[in-house]
Amino acid sequence: MKGRVVVITGGASGIGEACAELFHNEGAQVVVVDKDALQTSHQDLVLEGDVGDEKTVQAHVNVILKNYGRIDSLITCAGFSTGTSVTKTSLDEWNAVLQTNLTGTFLWARETAIAMSKTGGGTIVMIGSQLAFAGGKSNAAYLASKGAIVALAQTMAIDCAVDRIRVNALIPGAIETPLLSRSFARADDPDAARVRSISRHPLGRLGQPSEMARAILFLASPASSFTTGSCLRADGGWLAG
């Protein structure tokens, strides 16, 4: 990835932060986009703002292009959940989750693809979830957004192939991130919720952000040059069981 320009939304924590560190170590120019972003040694450019706001996304892409002239890879890690069932999810909660998780992914992917089409192509990696396939309790908006991201990655892979843009989705299991910690904290018994989650993984543990970052590196790099429209499972065996 030496010299490549890599944009990571939600890059201030969790999987996104691990990606920023790994891609920086691989020689990439790393641009982190996050509402709570702080400059670190793993970031070459930090942009703050709402990933689900169209004008903000367009402005950020223009800044990146002004600074670097191109975008080689996009990784859309920004996301959150509210932990409510369908009947208890308000419209405001629904809209807020989809605005960040799905609309934010769409806007960044669209604007990045437009830029990539003018510079010879690139790679886009979207972050799905094992729950998009397996289902889950009391997380309606989050699961709906992740299922839509899988479908978006597949259709975008077809749309953008002509422009030499590869689009894939990573399907993580339960990963040790602040988002997962907040999810456990919402449970009546957080410790029991953690144990249940671990038990769903045949490997017998939760995943680490650094493990997801390495899988994302494969999808974003030339190592996966004949891979597009795919869903790479890095879920500790959750979906196999």
CATH number for position 106: 3.40.50.720
Model confidence pLDDT, tens digit, residues 135-170: 878 789 999 999 999 999 999 999 999 999 999 999
Structure tokens at 134: 């397996």
Q: Would the pLDDT of 180 be above 80?
A: no
**Does residue 241 form part of some domain?**
no
Residues with a known catalytic role: 142
**pLDDT tens readout for residues 69-103:** 999 999 999 998 888 889 999 999 999 999 999 99
Looking at the domain assignment, is residue 239 inside a domain? no
CA–CA gap between residue 218 and residue 130 (Å, rounded): 19
Whether 240 is covered by a domain: the verdict is no
Q: Look at residue 187 and tell me if it is in a domain.
A: yes
The answer as to whether 86 is a domain residue is: yes
Count of domains for the chain: 1
**Structural domain includes residue 88:** yes
Q: List beta partners, residue 233.
A: 171
DSSP-derived 3-state class of residue 97: helix
Q: Write down the residue that tokens 């890879």 correspond to.
A: 73
Digit-coded pLDDT (tens) for 205-216: 999 999 999 999
Name the DSSP letter for residue 235.
S
Helix (H) or strand (E) holding 212: helix 209-220
Crossing angle between the packed helical segments 104-116 and 140-160, to the nearest 10 degrees: 10
Longest dimension (CA), the chain: 52
Task: Show the domain range for 109.
Answer: 5-234
11: in domain: yes
Q: Residue 89: name the closest of 97, 100, 79, 101 by CA.
A: 97
Residue 38 CA to residue 40 CA, distance in Å, equals 6
In a domain, residue 137? The reply is yes
